[in-house]
Structure 1
């Protein structure tokens, strides 16, 4: 039996549309992500469990886990009869890398089960391709941090998909999922096909300064440039009370905040636990829409996907 945990992630991290992603771990020690268990079987079998299993397709062949298995078998040129149990703990369409959690955990578990016939780079490419089936285009800003941990810069050149870059270890990342769902494909479809020269220049400046600040340990400068001028102006129409909540959170002392991935999850950053707790309480009271929503104070998960059984 192989049991694999894959953590939630913040795609884009505000300033890095499709080129930055961060794996997250609640500071209370709880696991925030999907778990996949694989055992031997006479034929392929899929069992769905977990809090959000009701969001999954009823047909096995429409489940991304099935596609992971099919693609893995093609890669190793062998059909593996296994029983896969998906513990679906991440809500679909939450902006926290839900599909990435399932894809990454499944492929890593299959690779372990078969004595690791595929390299990390081969697995990562498969993860990106399978993620693309759901989102409408290959992108690695969730699968890379989910798999490899930390803050990942997506390079996507030749055999280098992404690399881990520095982050501030005293930053708390507060994430809030309001309890509603947004399709990644829908969220991407509302973005403009073209941007003005001014927007492109400012976006490049923000991203360059943010990454420079990480390498030179300039926290204030980094926080000042967590600005999303590519997606946020267009996606706020899909998010309830986003701008008013953002204003409140910044006034409470957040270093920065924005939309996690495609939304509707909200992320904010603080270097003070007390402030992080105040922000978390405020988001719980004013951003959550129903009993399904949740708020977590997190640190970056440096490990990424791991074997837990």
Structure 2
């Protein structure tokens, strides 16, 4: 029996639409991500557990886990039955890479139980393929960090899909999911088909500046350029009072604030734990829409998917 954990992730991380993603872990040790327990069996079995298991489809063949197993078997041209327990700790449509967590944990677990017939590149390509079928287009900014850890720059070359870039170890990432759902497909539909030259140049300048600051260890410069002009101006309308909340969070001392993935989760960054706690408390009181919402203070998860126990 094998147990695999895959962490939640922040897609885009503000400045890198579809090409940056960060794996995160709460500082209190909470498993903010999905767990897969797998063993060989006489036939395929799937049991769903966890606080958000009620959001999963009743028909197992509509479940991401089954799709992963089916695609993996086709890939290796063998049909090997397994028994799987999915512990769903992330809400669907949260902007925290919920589907990516299930995909990564499942495919890593299946690859392990099948004696690793796929290498890491083949596995990541398969993860992107499954994610693409769910969200309407292949993108690796959630599956890559969840699988490999750290902050991943998506190169999407066939030989090099992504590479880890440096991150600031003194940054606290505060994430807040308000308790409502927002599908990636819906959040993509709201984006325009064309952008002006000025916007494209500005976005490129900010992204290049952030990457440069990350490699030269300039924390303030990196935070300053964590702004995004492709999606946030449009997606901000889908989130509860995003602009007002962003303004308040920065007044509390955040050095940056943005939308996690396609939302509705938002993130803020602080270099001071006391300020991070103040922001966390304020978000808990003002951004959460119901009792299912949550706020966590996180570090960057450098490990990615791994065995548990």
For Structure 1 versus Structure 2, the TM-score category normalised by the shorter chain is: over 0.9
The 5 A counterparts of 1:1-309 are 1-309=1-309
SS in 1 for 2:153: strand
SS in 1 for 2:102: helix
Specify every segment of 5 or more residues in structure 2 that has no aligned partner in the other structure, as ranges: none
SS in 2 for 1:68: helix
The answer to whether the 8 A contact 2:49-2:87 is kept is: yes
Deviations 1:55-103 (CA, angstroms, capped at 9, x unpaired): 1111111111111000100111111111111101100000000000000
TM-score (structure 2 length as normaliser): 0.99
Deviations 1:191-231 (CA, angstroms, capped at 9, x unpaired): 01000001000000000000000011111111110101110
Equivalent-residue separation in structure 2 for 1:81 and 1:165 (angstroms): 38
Equivalent-residue separation in structure 2 for 1:230 and 1:236 (angstroms): 11
After TM superposition, give the deviation of residue 158 of structure 1 in Å. 2.4
Q: Which segment drifts farther, 220-229 or 139-148? A: 220-229
Equivalent-residue separation in structure 2 for 1:26 and 1:158 (angstroms): 33
After TM superposition, give the deviation of residue 241 of structure 1 in Å. 1.1
Equivalent-residue separation in structure 1 for 2:166 and 2:69 (angstroms): 34
After TM superposition, give the deviation of residue 297 of structure 1 in Å. 0.3
SS in 2 for 1:243: helix
Deviations 1:228-260 (CA, angstroms, capped at 9, x unpaired): 111011011111111110000011110101000
Deviations 1:241-298 (CA, angstroms, capped at 9, x unpaired): 1111000001111010100000000100000000000000010000000000000000
Equivalent-residue separation in structure 1 for 2:158 and 2:179 (angstroms): 39
Runs of 4+ in 1 over 4 A off after TM superposition: none
Instruction: State the superposition RMSD in angstroms.
Output: 0.6
The answer to whether the 8 A contact 2:176-2:294 is kept is: yes
SS in 1 for 2:261: coil
Equivalent-residue separation in structure 1 for 2:25 and 2:195 (angstroms): 35
Specify every segment of 5 or more residues in structure 1 that has no aligned partner in the other structure, as ranges: none
Equivalent-residue separation in structure 2 for 1:291 and 1:169 (angstroms): 31
After TM superposition, give the deviation of residue 121 of structure 1 in Å. 0.2
Equivalent-residue separation in structure 1 for 2:3 and 2:236 (angstroms): 38
SS in 2 for 1:268: strand
After TM superposition, give the deviation of residue 123 of structure 1 in Å. 0.3
Deviations 1:8-67 (CA, angstroms, capped at 9, x unpaired): 000000000000000000011111100001112110011111101111111111111111
The answer to whether the 8 A contact 2:31-2:89 is kept is: no
Equivalent-residue separation in structure 1 for 2:218 and 2:33 (angstroms): 31
